[in-house]
Amino acid sequence: MLLGVDTGGTFTDFVLCDGDRLEIHKVLSTPHAPEQAILQGIRELGLEGRALRLVHGSTVATNAVLEGKGVRTAYVTNRGFADVLSIGRQARRELYNLQPAAPPQPVPAELCLETGGRLGADGEVVEPLTEADCERLLERLDVLAPDAVAINLLFSFLDERFERLLETRLRDKYFVSRSSDILPEIREYERGVATWLNAWVGPRVEGYVQRLQAALPQAPVHVMQSSGLTIGAGQAARRAVNLLLSGPAGGLMGALHIGKVLGRERLLSFDMGGTSTDVALLDGGVSLTSEGSLGPWPVAVPMLDMHTIGAGGGSIARVDEGGMLVVGPESAGADPGPACYGRKGQQATVTDANLVLGRLLPEAFLGGDMRLDASAAVCALERLAQHLHVGRRQAALGVIELANEHMVQALRVISVQRGIDPVDFTLTAFGGAGGLHVCALAEALDMKHALVPMHAGVLSALGMLVAPRGRRLSHAAGGLLGQQDEAALATRFAQLVAQGLAELEQEGIGAEDVDTEFSLDLRYAGQSYTLNVSGRDFRRAQQDFHRQHEQRFGHRMDTDIELVNLRVALVAAGSRLVLQSPAGDSEDQPMRMASLVGIEVPVPVWRRADLQYGKVYPGPMLVIDVVATTLVAAGWMLQRHDSGSLLLERD
């Protein structure tokens, strides 16, 4: 049996695949110890002691970074470069502020240590790493007593011997990360931050994985990486920086799978959960970036290209000092959660606003397993309305409209601001709250087609099941593209492939089951940022780069192209999951009628399972299932696909 688990800020979602049968489940998350919610769900599903393979998205690394709760970490670099992480890129967040607040310091000055082992840009030794250097470093570390050590020596991606030597001397006493293993690429600052992040949160991830594996000795555990590929838990513990978008990556893999089933592979997706909304653009496949960030830190390891904002069902609505309504980014989380959860939450949230507007049915939330407290939601919205000097329903509408505007702006960032017209895409909504907002967002973007997948409320957990296992590896390769030695680069590619296959073999995956994809990071000579071009044919890569540059930036240049990095993706096929949905009820009748604020007449409320395949249903209407509610607005037509997904078309 396969069990997909997505640990979110509010709920932990489960999708169990037992042969051709899917079972879904939700429990409230336990942020202080995420494994407790996972074990609770396994007990409630009756899976204790049973043989299964668990694939899950972990928020342990993400939360540790965002909350600043990493371990005490020492940073080791060459002499004269201890301040690299503090100096950063010298980017000013407030250009016109003459006295800006000091940015956060990743590593305290006393924990930034210098040693020998310096290389030049040509890979030649400038300063050796002596035994005396090693002894002095060990003595300093004994005094400072860190929990982890990050090693980032100059140009170590050209020759990793000095970093390896330090790792060998230190790994028996400390959790050690070295840059030549974590990110063997150019850019000293970004490489250093990635290495430090890996060391800073690595012990937290390692402890969590060990506790989970100890509680589930019969179940192999895999973890979703930010790149959309899964990795064995034993290796994930050493690759914490690759797990920072673990949960959202599952949602994109689930959306991509369902899009292929429906023959709709150009998707503009938004995953609206309890705490945040993640938006992405899928054009036949996922897009990766090495220019992502989390909080104030750049994260240069490969991750799915998405944009995240603090707008979710649990986003708190409040009035600021100027009397203006503000929604998010603060969230009520899982405890106490929105006021309507009945856990003593007092502040109004987006979920409370949807309930007051009639868009959520108190008795049908989570299939009736969790009844919402409508009176608590009303009280929370009334308090907010008093501060705004408006009526309760008007305040609720304002909360929804403002949350929608935040999400529309995020969707524009990932599409319009990159020269892509969203009209040609299908807006795909998932997450527990996505279906309630899909029509409004599509209209704001002038989109004609929308999709609410089957099991949309737990799509990230479902995506864990279909995501392939694999690795994405990279290595720096400088110089002009036209001057490269193709044989030498072929050897470097072969070395990356061999490294990835060796890691996958430890998970029981043979080379014959792995597909290999090659790509190049290219830029015009003199530029700072790169574009990734598929393949390793230099002539074709040159043409593709010119075309991509013109599409992204509106022009191409008649100048030399520089090769920056080699990249290899090794992908083993994921589980083949066939989505099936029960046939619709022959009576073809809604379960009830409901009154929604802003709509003059009552609207029908349908169970998703009762909708007939292929039949066209006009909005407005509500469609409910066990894990989510979908609002079909007036002017929209709905059809149910035989997989259970809802296809919406604007009239």
- Summarize pLDDT for 358-385 with one digit per residue, the tens: 999 988 887 777 889 999 999 999 999 9
- In sequence order, the 6+-apart residues with CB closer than 8 A to the CB of 87 are 189
- pLDDT one-digit tens code per residue, 530-567: 999 998 888 899 999 999 999 888 899 999 999 999 99
pLDDT > 90 in the chain, percent? 57
- pLDDT one-digit tens code per residue, 460-487: 899 998 899 999 999 998 889 988 888 8
What mean pLDDT do residues 32-38 have?
A: 88
Tokens of 131: 């035994």
Which 3 state secondary structure label does DSSP give 66? helix
Nearest by Cα to 582 from 521, 642, 515: 642
What mean pLDDT do residues 271-284 have?
A: 87
Please state, in angstroms and rounded to a whole number, the distance separating the CA atoms of residues 101 and 476.
35
Left, alpha or beta for 150 (phi > 0: left; psi -120 to 50: alpha)?
A: beta
Task: Please determine, for residue 579, whether its predicted confidence score (pLDDT) is greater than 70.
Answer: no
Question: Strands 449-452 and 426-430: what pairing?
Answer: parallel
Yes or no: say if 113 and 75 are a contact pair by the CB < 8 Å rule: yes
Which 3 state secondary structure label does DSSP give 431? coil
Tokens of 530: 């790169």
Task: Please determine, for residue 587, whether its predicted confidence score (pLDDT) is greater than 70.
Answer: no
- pLDDT one-digit tens code per residue, 329-364: 888 876 788 999 988 888 999 999 999 999 999 888
Lowest mean pLDDT among 28-32, 132-136, 622-626: 28-32
Per-residue confidence band for 423, with pLDDT thresholds at 50, 70 and 90 = very high
Residue 24, strand partner residues: 15
Nearest by Cα to 155 from 194, 131, 191, 197: 191
Residue 426, strand partner residues: 267
Please state, in angstroms and rounded to a whole number, the distance separating the CA atoms of residues 22 and 113.
53
Please state, in angstroms and rounded to a whole number, the distance separating the CA atoms of residues 341 and 322.
30
Angle of the 34-44 helix axis to the 188-215 helix axis, nearest 10: 40
The residue whose two tokens read 């909080």 is 295
- In sequence order, the 6+-apart residues with CB closer than 8 A to the CB of 496 are 473, 474, 475, 566, 568
Tokens of 482: 């036209």
- Provide the total of helices (H) and of strands (E) in the chain, helices listed first: 16, 34
CATH numbers and ranges of domains, the chain:
2-66+209-246 (3.30.420.40), 73-204 (no CATH), 469-572 (3.30.1490), 592-650 (no CATH)
Yes or no: say if 349 and 425 are a contact pair by the CB < 8 Å rule: no
Per-residue confidence band for 407, with pLDDT thresholds at 50, 70 and 90 = very high
What mean pLDDT do residues 33-55 have?
A: 89
Tell me the whole-structure pTM to 2 decimals: 0.85
Task: Please determine, for residue 578, whether its predicted confidence score (pLDDT) is greater than 70.
Answer: no
